[in-house]
Structure 1
């Protein structure tokens, strides 16, 4: 028996290899997988046409962009330095135990690795903590888009009763007595005065410096055509075509900056979350959540707004099935608020080998974060 199991694994590996090597796609003529690398070695403008639904405006994939913060400018640099101290400082919370980094840890790619975050008095939040890497690119913040800027967003977790639980009105006075902050505020704003506006602005500027490291996919785009494996090149092609990912995950940061209903609303059940509707109160926004960027996606599990999936294979299987389609109960037949899943979601019919290839491509856009250990805080 001890020889049978390794033999079975060898057969399965061989079948996967054969399936991969014989993959062909339709682009006018059938082209074998060996030709994919030559096609994708060209400039993105010459790549095979992406599978995009009518009405969808998209941007082609590209090299990771740089932070918009100019750290050579002394004022911006001083504000970013101050913001970094504030980001790691638990004194921004009522208990003096919770900092921004508690839910957005640098070594976890600025997530916390939990389904939902844990806050004040160990209270569980209702949503997953998204990564802060490349957060400057997002037009609206939070899963429901209720904040239009990082400055506006900063006060939300601090004042939340189940997160940092801080009384924002007393926060400036609380930090003003920390003498070590005086020179930092003076360098950033010209005087030592601590205000909420200055706290939020400094935190926002620091967060705008948080950019992913370049990954294998970036090196591939920059000319190193051996940076991706054959399986990853196939995954790139599938990502752009049969898997239909580009309808929502496009551009250099792989997000359309929009909101979509993925069928995970739990409408009328225990974990109901109506998403963007809670902000806009527009029926068409029921169940919609922000499209996350996919940079470093393989390091930011669990996924979705509620942290429902910790397995990337589970995520792929759900998308392959077209995501859940909630069924109306008898009492919901005439309910105008019953969530409607986004029409972009369709069954994909990806084979196991194709799903493995898409996952391999997502590995190519994921990498270790820059190291940023908590600094010695001002006293």
Structure 2
């Protein structure tokens, strides 16, 4: 449930500015989008539809457009009791579908269920490092391996071509500059490239960045007193894993993968 691109391509072949995160388990997130600008799947539903660089659809005219397709009427009646098509019902339908997108059981889950053979020795070491020396668990915790919070990982590009202020664009709080939502890690090895800007397609590159503590903002003289100057999250610091330890963490991340769900392709209403 991700497109595998660095950033998605939308209307008229326009590139988006951020990587499309997977939709698996999306119903368990408290905030949606990398910058948390939507509070629910219903709130989120219309935003990609009307965005100029995504679907570029006039949301106000969408119900009328769908009413012209007679095949939608029985589906709306079955779902809502009448054939009336409204933006609220469209959003509800999209949200309900997305709530069905849950990841399946993984080797890690089997290990937790007392199957001691579910993980290899290397993966068990990776799990230990994930929880301790590698410090991954500070942000990636809980059943979906996310704290449902926002952090600055040093990839703001402040004052440069690819600047993205993240959560600040929503809250307008200086302390939120460069913060992005912590993604869940279930099936993470199937959702490259990684980070909000899709910067890394290679997991070794991701590990190396965390190993060095992520990049610090270079402060120019004219930025010394800038209230919006990004500050990396205090949880970030070089973890100094050996190559064998990095490989073990990566092996553990593979244990969070589940078998793909096969979904029948439905014929569109006519």
Equivalent residue number for residue 94 of structure 2: 203
User: 1:300 is matched with which residue: 175, 178, 191?
Assistant: 191
Q: After the TM superposition, which residues 300-319 of structure 1 pair with which residues of structure 2 at under 5 Å, given as runs?
A: 300-319=191-210
Correspondence 1:222 to 2:113: yes
Alpha-carbon offset, residue 224 of structure 1: 1.1
Instruction: Pick the aligned partner of 1:321 from 204, 208, 212.
Output: 212
The count of aligned residue pairs is 270
1:138 aligns with 2:7: no
**8 Å Cα contact 1:299/1:367 also seen in 2:** no
Residue by residue over 1:325-376, the C-alpha shift from the partner in whole angstroms, topping out at 9 and shown as x without a partner, is 1120111111111100000001111110000000000000013320124311
3-state SS in 2 of match to 1:260:
strand
CA contact (8 A) 1:257 1:291 kept: yes
In structure 1, the partner of 2:151 is: 260
For residues 112 and 260 of structure 1, what CA distance do their matches in structure 2 show?
A: 24
Q: What stretches of structure 1 of length at least 5 have no aligned partner? A: 1-109
Secondary structure at 1:206 match in 2: helix
- After superposing on structure 2, the runs of 4+ consecutive aligned residues of structure 1 that deviate more than 4 Å are none
Cα deviation, residue 177, structure 1? 1.4
Q: Normalising by structure 2, report the TM-score.
A: 0.99
Q: CA RMSD in A?
A: 0.7
Partner of 1:330: 221
- The answer as to 2:138 corresponding to 1:247 is yes
CA distance in 1, matches of 2:259, 2:112: 19
2:177 to 283, 286, 289: 286
**CA–CA separation in structure 2 for the residues paired with 1:223 and 1:351:** 29
Measured in 2, the distance between the counterparts of 1:363 and 1:325 equals 29
Q: Distance in 2 between matches of 1:335 and 1:171?
A: 44
Q: 1:357 aligns with which of 243, 248, 252?
A: 248
Name the residue aligned to 1:371. Answer: 262
For the pair shown, which has the larger CA radius of gyration, 1 or 2?
1
Is 1:161–2:49 an aligned residue pair?
A: no
Structure-2 separation of matches of 1:182 and 1:364: 44
| Rounded Cα–Cα distance in structure 2 between residues aligned with 1:369 and 1:250 | 23
Residues 118 and 163, structure 1, Cα contact 8 Å, conserved in 2: yes
Give me the whole-angstrom Cα distance separating, in 1, the residues matched to 2:252 and 2:49.
37
Structure 1 length as normaliser, TM-score? Answer: 0.71
Structure 2, unpaired ranges of 5+: none
